[in-house]
Chain A
Amino acid sequence: MIIKTIEIIGRAFIRFIEEFGRVMFLFLATVAWMFRLPFRLHAIFKQMEFVGVNSLLVVILTGTFTGAVLALQAYHGFRLFSAESLVGSTVALAMTRELGPVLTSLMVTGRAGSAMAAELGTMRVTEQIDALYTMAANPIKYLVVPRVIAGVLMLPVLTIIADFVGIIGGYIVGVGLLNINSGIYIDKMIEIVELDDIFNGLVKAACFGLILSLVGCYKGFYTTGGAQGVGKATTQAVVIASVTILISDYFLTAAMF
Chain B
Amino acid sequence: MAKAEPSFIIELIDIHKSFKGQKVLDGLNLRIEAGKITVIIGQSGGGKSVFLKHTIGLLKPDQGEVLVEGVDISRLNDRQLNDVRKNFGMLFQGAALFDSMTVGENVAFPLREHTRLKQHDIQEIVERKLRQVGLKDVAHKMPSELSGGMKKRVGLARALALDPKIILFDEPTTGLDPITADAIDRLIVDTQEHTNATCVVISHDIESTFKIAHTVAMLYHGKIIEVGKPEDIRSSEDLALQQFIQGKAEGPIQIV
Interface residues of A (CB under 8 A from B): 122-123, 126-128, 130-131, 133-138
Contact = CB atoms under 8 A, between A and B. Distances in A.
Contacts of B85: 133-136
Interface in B70-86: 78, 82-83, 85-86
A133 B58 contact: yes
A134 B93 contact: no
A128 B78 contact: no
B78 A138 contact: yes
Contact of A134 (B90, B98, B99): B90
B110 interface: yes
Indicate the member of B53, B96, B98, B99 with the most A CB atoms within 10 Å.
Answer: B96
A130 B55 CA distance: 13
8 smallest beta-carbon distances between A and B, as pairs: A136-B82, A131-B96, A127-B96, A136-B85, A134-B90, A127-B92, A135-B110, A128-B96
A133 B78 CA distance: 10
Interface string B92-130: 111011110000000001100110000000000000000
Interface residues of B, number: 24
A135 B96 contact: no
B78 to A, nearest CB: 7
B24 interface: no
Query: Interface majority SS on B: helix, strand, loop or mixed?
Result: mixed
B225 to A, nearest CB: 27
B113 A137 contact: yes
Contacts of A123: 98
Contacts of A135: 85, 109-110, 113, 158
Nearest to B97: A128
B100 to A, nearest CB: 8
Contacts of A126: 94, 96, 99
B220 interface: no
A135 B85 CA distance: 7
Interface string B58-76: 1000000000000000000
Contacts of B109: 135, 137
Contacts of B158: 135
B114 A130 contact: no
Interface of B: 53, 56, 58, 78, 82-83, 85-86, 88-90, 92-94, 96-99, 109-110, 113-114, 158, 168
Nearest to A38: B113
Nearest to B79: A136
17 contacts: A122-B99, A126-B96, A127-B92, A128-B96, A128-B99, A130-B92, A130-B96, A131-B90, A131-B96, A134-B56, A134-B85, A135-B85, A135-B110, A135-B113, A135-B158, A136-B83, A138-B82
Contacts of A136: 82-83, 85-86, 110, 113-114
Given A134-B85, A138-B78, 5 more contacts: A126-B96, A127-B93, A130-B58, A133-B58, A134-B89
Contacts of A133: 58, 85
Contacts of A137: 109-110, 113
A127 B94 contact: yes
Contacts of B78: 138
Contacts of B110: 135-137
A173 to B, nearest CB: 43
B18 to A, nearest CB: 17
A136 B92 CA distance: 15
Contacts of B89: 134
A66 B83 CA distance: 54
Nearest to B89: A134
Contacts of A128: 96-99
Contacts of A130: 53, 58, 92, 96
A123 B168 CA distance: 20
A128 B97 CA distance: 7
Contacts of A134: 56, 58, 85, 88-90, 168
A37 to B, nearest CB: 13
A123 B86 CA distance: 21
A123 B101 CA distance: 13
B113 A131 contact: no
A135 B96 CA distance: 12
A127 B56 CA distance: 14
Nearest to A137: B113
A46 to B, nearest CB: 9
Contacts of A122: 99
A221 B143 CA distance: 21
Nearest to B170: A127
Nearest to A132: B98
Nearest to B109: A135
A251 B196 CA distance: 62
A138 to B, nearest CB: 7
